[in-house]
Structure 1
Amino acid sequence: MKLKYVCLSFFKEQKISFFYNKKEERIYFPCPICDETVFLEIESANWFCQACDEGGTLKVLINFSNTGSLSTKKVYNPTKEKRDIRILYKNLLSSTQDEKLKSRFEYFMNKVENLIEYFDSEDKMTS
């Protein structure tokens, strides 16, 4: 079994807020000591917090979970945020009957989508 699936299943099973970045092969999550966002390298299953100088392996995180001392802080997940924005937009659009307002909402959403695409493509070029 790939280490990636072991790591991801740990975070899901423990209900730890996380964001998996496929491109970087990292899992972002709150540090169990100070709550700052840290990442676990999938290839090695190692993590290190620059804020509190704590770190270790997936095994260390498992030990933290066994003592009940894992963080409940939420980690920013850009994929989820993008999905939530689209849902909010669709709900907003469907709740109005004013065609002029709908047109403005559509114009605004197109601008947002173009901006997201720009940053997504810029990320791909720099990696």
Structure 2
Amino acid sequence: MKQIIFLAVVALAASAPVCSFSQDKKATVYFIRETGMPGFALGFNAFIDSAVVCRLNNNRYSVHEVSAGVHSFHAQTMGKKEAKYPERIVLDLEEGKTYYIQMVYVDKYFVDKLYVQEITSGTAQVKLKKCKEDTKCLAEKKE
């Protein structure tokens, strides 16, 4: 009888799901706004997928932990709702890696254009030295 109970306990233990305390796999994403046009007081909204994650002013950057996988990134000058046709980039983020996204503003012949582009770590390090981290981004976002 003891062997049957023992075998039942072993079989039950073997069929039970293993508890896993694995952390969500994350990547680090930097949004960098090195400069803007002279006198431009408005911040640029940084979006991950369709959610605003920060509003950055000139010479600021923000750091975000994002789950690994495919995400879209874009920026816009106004509004916390995603524009109808934002110019975005799509990146497949890998766990443990760091990505740098620069906000680029172009003002040419009365036509304004704001877009984002991925930059290399070396380029980002130079730009980050000129900028100050905006640490209150996430505190302002309450969902």
TM-score by length of 2: 0.25
Instruction: Considering fraction of residues, name the structure with more strand.
Output: 2
- Structure number with greater CO (CA < 8 Å, separation at least 6) is 2
| Higher-helix-fraction structure | 1
If the length of structure 1 is used for normalisation, what is the TM-score? 0.27
Larger Rg: 2
